[in-house]
Amino acid sequence: MKSISYIFLLLALISEVLGTIGGFGSSVFFVPIANFYFDFESVLGLTAIYHLSSNLSKIVLFKKGLDKKLLMNIGIPSVIFVVIGGFLTQVFNSKYLEVFLGVFLVILALVFLVKRNLVLNPNKTNAIVGGSLSGFSAGLLGTGGAIRGLTMAAFNLEKSAFIATSAFIDFLIDFSRTFVYYYNGFIHQHDLIYVPFLLIIGIIGTALGKKILNYIPQDRFKQISLSLILIIGLITLANVLFIQ
């Protein structure tokens, strides 16, 4: 039996709490952290399964005010492009995808840190484009919540409605890409020992994040989250380019 890394499970819990509070989703933290413990293909497979429970928890805890119109405009293109991105993971070398992930996280964090008031126009076209990009990124790199968060922020939703709608879209994305990753052979038998723990962590982390969210201003915490994303991105690049 493969030994379990409890440090990794603790980091997964922290990722879920931070993702809930920051509004970016836990994958932006979980994927690069898991990348230190598993090969990139396993990371993608575990992320998809882990997020199914995580997002179900968010839907239940933040169920009020689901925006059905936004769900359709962002959700449908997200599902289509997560499938495309998921299949393209077979085309690219995993090391290149890890480099791409690191660059993506660094650029993403810097853009949000420098342009703190960056918003898109709240129209259907931007919703569809944002949904397509976030879905494609989720399928190819394992994380696309920040792009979706930027897109949804334009529509000025109430906080609970924002999290519930985002979680529902994310659930559709994860449900779709789980099948694609399974087809690709990314869900490995020896990694499944972590699944029960991750499912429980997804529920606990979401609940903790909701409680903390009541005490910490989201804007301030988002800056902290972005700084962490920047650091994680730099570490990911250093690990791939200079250590591996």
Give pLDDT tens digits for 105-142. 888 888 878 887 776 788 899 999 989 999 999 999 88
Task: Output Rg (C-alpha) for the chain, integer angstroms.
Answer: 16
Alpha carbons 129 and 58: distance in angstroms, whole number: 24
Which pTM does this prediction carry? 0.83
**Any domain includes 124:** yes
Question: How far, in whole angstroms, is CA 21 from its chain's centroid?
Answer: 13
Residue 1, in any domain of the structure: no
Q: Is residue 160 part of a domain?
A: yes
Contact 178, 52 (CB under 8 A): yes
- Residue 90 burial (CB count, 10 A): 12
The verdict on residue 201 lying in a domain is yes
Assess if residue 70 is contained within a domain. yes
| Structural domain contains residue 83 | yes
Residue for token pair 């994380």: 143
Q: Do the Cβ atoms of 120 and 154 come closer than 8 Å? A: yes
Write out the residue range of the structural domain in which residue 90 sits. 7-243
- Label residue 19 by pLDDT band (50, 70, 90): confident
**DSSP letter (8 states) at residue 241:** I
Which pLDDT does position 1 carry in this prediction?
46
Whether residue 35 contacts residue 98, with contact meaning beta carbons closer than 8 Å, is answered with yes
Instruction: Provide the greatest CA pair distance for the chain.
Output: 52
Specify the pLDDT at position 136: 93
Contact 120, 150 (CB under 8 A): yes
pLDDT digits (tens, 9 = 90+) for 88-101: 998 888 888 888 88
Q: Both tokens of residue 97?
A: 């995808």
**Is 2 among the domain residues?**
no
pLDDT in tens, 150-175: 788 778 777 777 777 888 888 899 89
Both structure tokens of 221: 């915490």
Token look-up 């919703």 returns 127
Of 217, 184, 186, give the one whose Cα is nearest residue 42.
186
Whole-angstrom distance, CA of residue 180 vs CA of residue 45: 9
The answer on pLDDT for 183 being more than 60 is: yes
Report residue 89 CA to chain centroid gap: 17
How many domains does one find in the chain? 1
